[in-house]
Amino acid sequence: MADAKLIDGRAFAVGLRHRVAKGVAELVATGGPKPGLATILVGADPASQVYVRSKGKLAAELGMASFDYRLAAETTEAELLALIAKLNGDPAINGILVQLPLPKHIDTSHVLLAVDPAKDVDGFHPINVGRLGSIVSGAPLDFPVPCTPLGVSMLLQDALGSLSGRHAVVIGRSNLVGRPVAQLLLRADCTVTITHSRTRDLPGLCRQADIVVVAIGKREFVRGDWIKPGAAVIDVGINRIVAAAGRTRLVGDAAFAEILPVAGYLTPVPGGVGPMTVACLMFNTLQAARRAAGLKVV
């Protein structure tokens, strides 16, 4: 059997970014608002600084307005909530992204609840979580959906076409990845099995799957002999390991070299799901701006 076809998330994300840039230009050319994304970072965590900077930079590259709020680590919850209330009321801002994790003295659930659900481009507000949890087959996604899961569903639909009737095993049940992935696959008419750390016979369940999505944060956990020949394997995991000469490199939650000769489709790490997350954030911001202008989503 031939090796799995690699799903090139980097190339797909470039295409999605072009679509978003085109959508922004069309919206502005027809008198619509310039989509605005506000990013809020509390504290000076170096990794978070890099993420926030890259999001703001990409928003500007795609023709959006980018508003960067850097707050001191000692910022109180009340001060952060006051800023969010101000941004909620600002018509120039369509998306509000609060970079997580927040310092320990701030209750993340209060903050996520404070963001206007229409501007919640991360899809974390309980109202949007509930909308996704109750979505029916094929219904339009006319509310923000978490970015990484949205990217996973886009890659799968692009690679496989219709997902209807396929058996998907989702490994991991986090609110960030596993659960929303499962909801999106249900909407696409997959038969979905959600698994987690207490699941019995995970290898046996995976062997029945047409699609395996793994998001657990354990390097090379899913093995080649767990995979049904021809199945699609989407590896969301990001694990940093020390390689030769003290250098670090990224590996996924799936044993890439073992799965490659068995699967039909496989996402590499890096270059698979990773680049989709920020591209989907831009997509969500454009959609939020269209909705704010009373236009249909694209």
- Residues annotated as catalytic are 55, 99, 122
* 274 near ligand NAP, rule: CB under 6 A: yes
* 217 near ligand NAP, rule: CB under 6 A: yes
What minimum distance in Å lies between the beta carbon of 106 and ligand NAP?
A: 19
Residue with tokens 């890099």: 50
Measured CA angle at 225 (ends 223, 228), to 5 deg: 110
Among the listed residues 176, 190, 232, 279, the single contact to ligand NAP using CB under 6 A: 176
DSSP characters for 218-267? -TT-B-GGGSPTT-EEEE---EEEE-GGG-EEEE-SB-HHHHTTT-SEE-
* 108 near ligand NAP, rule: CB under 6 A: no
* 236 near ligand NAP, rule: CB under 6 A: yes
Instruction: Report the run of H or E that residue 42 belongs to, with start and end.
Output: strand 36-42
* 171 near ligand NAP, rule: CB under 6 A: yes
What minimum distance in Å lies between the beta carbon of 222 and ligand NAP?
A: 9
* 233 near ligand NAP, rule: CB under 6 A: no
* 173 near ligand NAP, rule: CB under 6 A: yes
CB proximity list for 246: less than 8 A, separation 6 or greater: none
* 9 near ligand NAP, rule: CB under 6 A: no
Using DSSP, state whether 69 is helix, strand or coil.
Answer: strand
Measure the CA–CA gap between 199 and 181, rounded to whole angstroms.
18
Find out whether 229 and 248 touch, Cβ atoms under 8 Å: no
Of 28-36, 76-84, 133-141, 197-205, the segment contacting ligand NAP by CB under 6 A is: 197-205
Please give the residue ranges that form the binding site for ligand NAP (CB under 6 A): 148, 171-174, 176-178, 195-199, 202, 215-218, 236-239, 273-274, 277
